Amino acid sequence: MRWNGGEYNGEEEEMTVKIRFFARFRELLGTDIMTDVAAGTMCTSLVATLAKKNPEGYAAIFDENGAFRDFVILMKNGKRIDIADAAKTLVTDGDEIAVFPPVAGG
Amino acid sequence: MFSERECERYKRQILLFGDEGQERLKNAHIFIAGAGGLGSPVSLYLAVAGVGTITIVDMDRVDQTNLNRQILHFDRDIGRKKTASAKEKLQAINPDIMIYAIDVKIDEMNAADLIGEADGIVDAMDNYPARYLLNEVAIAKEIPLFHGGIRGFYGQATTIIPGTTPCLKCIFPKPPPKEVFPVIGVTPGIIGVVQANEVIKFLLGRGELLAGRLLIWDGMQAHAEEICVERNPACDACGGMVENTTARKKK
């Protein structure tokens, strides 16, 4: 196994993960998206790849430096992931990633 | 003790939880922060349930743009203080309870005094800085905070029991950006009623609260789901609190 900048360079091993967007993110990007990812994919790159399908959706979730906006809440299989750790959090086959914004109105 | 009128008024719910449960509601004092989209259904349902003392706080006047969702206020109330409008409606819907309507902006200087000896705080605010303030007071007084938030067809709710569940800052450490949020009245209707239901269960000491669970409502899909939320040991609001081993602070 060889790593290079967080990307896996060995044999391609397809895995399927599910991404769930909530609230405004859902309006912009849809939800319950099943996607195949290569082994070694990190949480941030997975979400970014999907979010890029709609520039407005991407901009809602990521800042100009490609980092998660600070209010974004990320969950992997029902457990909170600190957004600061998302770039080094691996996704594995069968994972469910949830991405949502708190809603503020009252 | 209940008057004959109260016995009749609450007859159908006394079937559910008895005189003892109704007594608990009557002896309770609930603080509702906001008389807007969430505050309207929360206060109306707590009033008709017979929560004995309700304090509701708001600083705004009724605006025409409020009327698609803030069902405490009527067209004829445009320009009136929301507190005056709220007190009139709540007292009219149940004359057997005490309503205190306070026209003030909740800030860090007055929040603890305003909340006083209340048994719980309902978060019916529309911004996170105010919510964080309510969260701090709830932690300091060790009383529950019934959180709700909405946007468009989406809503969220959870019940915060300081020392037991994550606090609002554990769950939402950073606020989303400020905006003029789109909203349809049914969404705060649904979430506000969930909050009122939580208050009633807490006061009765019955059922399972949304404790450690964030309910997420998608009105477009007519789908509710919940996610488990956990305390953040490094939380700057509640991180120092010792775990409260009693499941729920009973009255």
pLDDT of residue A74: 94
- What lies within 8 Å, CB to CB, of B170 at 6+ separation is B229, B230, B231, B232, B235, B237, B238
Interatomic CA distance for residues B154 and B136, integer angstroms: 26
* CATH number for region A3-100: 3.10.20.30
Chain B residue whose CA is closest to A71: B174
pLDDT of residue A12: 58
Contact B181 A26 (CB under 8 A): no
Do the beta carbons of residue B63 and residue B78 sit within 8 Å?
yes
pLDDT of residue B244: 64
Residue (of B182, B144, B118) closest to A103 by Cα position: B182
Residue (of B73, B59, B38) closest to B199 by Cα position: B38
One pLDDT digit (tens) per residue for chain B, 251 residues: 899 999 999 999 999 999 999 999 999 999 999 999 999 999 999 999 999 999 999 999 999 999 999 999 999 999 999 999 999 999 999 999 999 999 999 999 999 999 999 999 999 999 999 999 999 999 999 999 999 999 999 999 999 999 999 999 999 999 999 889 999 999 999 999 999 999 999 999 999 999 999 999 999 999 999 988 989 999 999 998 877 655 444 44
**Tokens of residue A43, six digits:** 């949480």
Calculate ∠ Cα B226-B230-B234, nearest 5°.
Answer: 150
User: Would you call A94 exposed, middle or buried from its count of C-beta atoms within 10 A (0-12, 13-18, 19+)?
Assistant: exposed
Question: Sorting pLDDT into bands at 50, 70 and 90, what band is A7?
Answer: low
- Helical axes B11-26 vs B186-204, angle rounded to 10°: 70
Residues of B with CB under 8 A from a CB of A: 34, 36-39, 123-128, 148-152, 154-156, 171-179, 181, 183, 188, 216, 218, 227-230
What residues pair up with A24 in beta bridges, in sequence order? Answer: none
Structural domains of chain B ordered from first start? 4-228 (3.40.50.720)
Tally of residues, chain B: 251
Residue type, B169: K
Contact B150 A78 (CB under 8 A): no
Q: What is the mean pLDDT of residues A53-67?
A: 95
Strand stretches in chain A, DSSP E: 3-4, 7-8, 14-21, 33-38, 73-76, 79-81, 96-100
**Tokens of residue A96, six digits:** 């469910």
